[in-house]
Chain A
């Protein structure tokens, strides 16, 4: 049954399966506090949205990148965490296993790893997780943070 359905749907809708790989222009504006958790400890549900948009550059951009890294990346790429251990095995100490210690990372490579499937180890992060602005921030953090 499945095969028949997929053939029908593919024929009806598939125009092209090719991905161009085009990249959008970099936008350095960013929003802070994307984490919109609002909590009450009593029984009334409160619904608010704290999203704000702020233009950040320089140290503020790097600081936001540090927050993004702490929120999303450190669970695998922190000291002794699973991705760090995998990279330790892969690089045999020729290249540091912790991303925050690396001096060879480029914006293109960081973006590729976050936005593209290239390995069966690290998943892509969607724009609702790491926005384009947060992506620029984490790039700024990993490129510019004090090694």
Chain B
């Protein structure tokens, strides 16, 4: 590979590779063109353009001690790492970094499920463990715990959770069920959070804090450390699971649909991430502009059979009163479950059964908003207005009732394989969307790597005091700027000084 990390000579880089090999074994340091293809993001809109940041090498430690060693080496040579757990963050950047010449710190070999505690319903995993890995393990061992999964199940439990990935169950905002971390800090030191900081602590995966500030989210969407262990609460298999659909036929009916759902989500009648999907389903970009279709609100109830049925009857009554003519469908599942059969239907997602659906040609810039129908409609209208300037249209993407108080929309734009001009125009369009959303009081909650600076720029209150606080932390924790420079717009001091 003919790419070097920033500021390094060929000789230094050669020495670094030798040291990496001594740390993790020569089989797990990758420098050939063939091997480095997997550390690029082939699903990026800037793939194969001059803007694409390319990896200089990849190093794959198998243990915490090896992570410490390679971080200490990186500090000596001031090498930037980009961290990936399973490398499947597609649509948001995949395994690839922001900076050209980044060395990819590939944690896939750290793939142990360290503990599954059925009694207290939690697990402890390493970063290389995917949702599919944990699911297969639970089923093989007949452990009656359910988990929350994102759409594609090949991602990392740790990676997806600390990137604020969401699922579709009643544990959908998964970061809120994170309990206890182990982190290798940028100086190579190992730290455990919460009750895990007590040697032999018995409450690490039970109580989420210690004394003083809870710091776990400092390591979410950040570049302040390498998370090497994470505890995650799971849920016991419910006696009954009722998967429901509430369907409307017009796009603008998203307004009453969200407003009708809100009091029931706030009041605990609806407890899952009741996502609104396009209905009838059409691929993005394929909508009929005269009638792009309506919405399918997917609601799930977990609990005693009689109770879930009663909740569903109440929900139908409320929707029918608010939106006459609205349509319903439901399917009841009861224990013992035939989960393999259930996994073939759409109902698998709300039961936490991971699958992978091919067709990844999208780039994401996901937005947060109030739990409010008009707010959702305003955002759709804003994005559509900007899209028209580019000869495109935007009719809305899935809206997630992630918690009782907010919604997020996993906003995306399609990409055309091999059409660089179309895809680069998509980048411009998305940056316009992000800037316009900030001007209208909306902010992104998760974006792909090409838009991270624009996303952070929207959080500009008091001359970007929030970003300046992040930079103060970054400079103190990672003075050499080795961990994920540019992640979500947080750059180390030497880069900021060079551009100023």
Contact = CB atoms under 8 A, between A and B. Distances in A.
B358 A5 contact: no
Contacts of B63: 47, 49
Interface stretch (A58-66, A99-107, A123-131): A123-131
B360 A120 contact: yes
Interface string A52-88: 0000000000000000000000011000111100100
B359 A82 contact: yes
A19 B54 CA distance: 11
Contacts of B129: 37
A144 interface: no
Contacts of B52: 17
A123 B51 CA distance: 20
Interface in B30-61: 30, 32-35, 37-40, 42-43, 47, 50-54, 56, 58, 60
B40 A36 contact: no
B236 interface: no
Name the residue among B32, B33, B88, B101 with the largest chain A CB count within 10 angstroms: B33
B389 interface: no
B124 A120 contact: no
A43 B179 CA distance: 14
Contacts of A37: 111-113, 129, 133, 137
Interface string A11-49: 011111111111110000000000111111111111101
Contacts of A17: 3, 50, 52, 54
Contacts, number: 184
Contact of A119 (B33, B417, B486): B417
A19 B358 contact: no
A38 B4 CA distance: 37
Given A22-B34, A128-B106, A122 B115 contact: no
B285 interface: no
B334 interface: no
B458 to A, nearest CB: 13
A84 to B, nearest CB: 9
Contacts of B498: 8
Contacts of B143: 41
Interface of B: 2-8, 28, 30, 32-35, 37-40, 42-43, 47, 50-54, 56, 58, 60, 62-63, 86-88, 90, 94-95, 99-101, 106, 108-109, 111-118, 124, 128-129, 132-133, 137, 141, 143, 153-154, 202, 229, 344, 355-361, 415, 417-418, 452-454, 457, 486, 489, 491, 495, 498-499
